Amino acid sequence: MIQRRIASGGLIPIHPGVYLVGHRAVHPLAYETAAIFACRPRALLSHFTAARLRTWPTPEGDPIYVTVVGRVRRSLDGIRVHTIKSLARSALRRHDGLPITSPSLTLLDLAGVVERDRLTELLNEARVQRQVTNAQLRTTLGAHPTRRGAKALRRLLDTERGPHVVHSEAERIALRVMHGHGLEPDATDVSIGAYRADFLFRRERLIVEVDGMRDHNTPKRFVDDRRRMAYLASRGFQVFPLTWDDLHAGKAEAMTRLRRAREERRRLLN
């Protein structure tokens, strides 16, 4: 019966025992659904697939990633299968009805397969979207202390003074350059009155501002920038600007100047 329907085009094989019915015009999540059916029971979308469904930055053309609970399951054509011994209910989410790993477990899994810079980018995106907290990450690490990725994720969290959130490529590069030169801001994306500071060193009341490619030449921008600088100065803050060139060709010199600015602010405020 099944073979006749396959021959007539009524069933289109996707995975062993899993078929499209009647046509190839598929639902956007048809192949993710098929992967869950092919790996059931107790299968969840995970890793890069879970990241992609949450709109985190992921590579194009990846296979579908599935984690199965409590048993070993071989990978299939187009499906990368991982295993986990047990899974708390809190680590399970739903996306359009499909089971998917929680954001914190997704980040733990990705920590085992990506480099630190990429993990930092993914963690930042999860924070920007308010999908994960440090407490949730620590709880997941406690539940899976030996899982691949646990060491890398724990090390990343331990080296942060706080959860960093950046909103642009220039800010992301600035944070990476500062980290590379041993300069760790106390906070990012900080509200000071009606204004926002990119990075803040609290003790020194020093704001690091990434100019990037912003246009400062319009009259309104000129006036707004001067008002902002005056307000921050009235609150006792000094602004240290970083240009695009500072983050690339001149980063060593820029970081030397930033370190000296911190030292001078500490001297003045002590």
Which CATH number belongs to the domain containing residue 248 in this structure?
A: 3.40.960.10
Q: How many beta carbons lie within 10 A of that of residue 253, not counting itself?
A: 10
Give the pLDDT confidence score for residue 247 in this predicted structure. Answer: 86
The arithmetic mean of pLDDT across residues 71-81, rounded, is 85
Q: How many beta carbons lie within 10 A of that of residue 114, not counting itself?
A: 20
Q: Facing residues of 11 across strands?
A: 21
> What are 24-51's pLDDT values in tens digits?
556 678 888 888 988 888 999 999 999 9
For residue 46, CA distances in Å to 51, 112, 128, 139 come to: 8, 13, 20, 18
Cα–Cα distance for residue pair 199/176, rounded to 1 Å:
12
Helix (H) or strand (E) holding 256: helix 251-269
Residues 120, 121, 123, 124, CA torsion sign = positive
Segments forming the whole domain that contains residue 250? 169-269
Q: Could you tell me what percent of the chain has a pLDDT over 70? A: 85
Give the pLDDT confidence score for residue 15 in this predicted structure. Answer: 59
The arithmetic mean of pLDDT across residues 85-112, rounded, is 94
> What are 221-250's pLDDT values in tens digits?
777 788 888 988 888 999 999 988 888 888
Give the pLDDT confidence score for residue 224 in this predicted structure. Answer: 79
> What are 158-179's pLDDT values in tens digits?
877 666 667 777 888 888 888 8
Residue 120: name the closest of 151, 147, 152, 143 by CA.
152
Asked if residue 128 and residue 107 are part of one domain, the reply reads yes
User: Would residue 46 count as lying in a domain?
Assistant: yes
Asked if residue 147 and residue 17 are part of one domain, the reply reads yes
Cα–Cα distance for residue pair 255/259, rounded to 1 Å:
6
Cα–Cα distance for residue pair 244/257, rounded to 1 Å:
15
Asked if residue 257 and residue 135 are part of one domain, the reply reads no
Asked if residue 127 and residue 60 are part of one domain, the reply reads yes
**Number of domains composing the chain:** 2
Q: How far is CA 131 from the centre of its chain?
A: 10
Residue 110: name the closest of 34, 175, 161, 58 by CA.
58
Asked if residue 23 and residue 124 are part of one domain, the reply reads yes
The tokens for 131 are: 């999908």
Query: Mean pLDDT of all residues in the chain?
Result: 84
User: Would residue 164 count as lying in a domain?
Assistant: no
Give the pLDDT confidence score for residue 197 in this predicted structure. Answer: 87
User: Would residue 143 count as lying in a domain?
Assistant: yes
Burial 144-176 (b: 16+ CB within 10 A, else e): beebebbebbbebeeeeeebbbbeeebbbbbbb
When pLDDT is cut at 50, 70 and 90, the band that residue 20 belongs to is low
Domain boundary among 135, 159, 183: 159
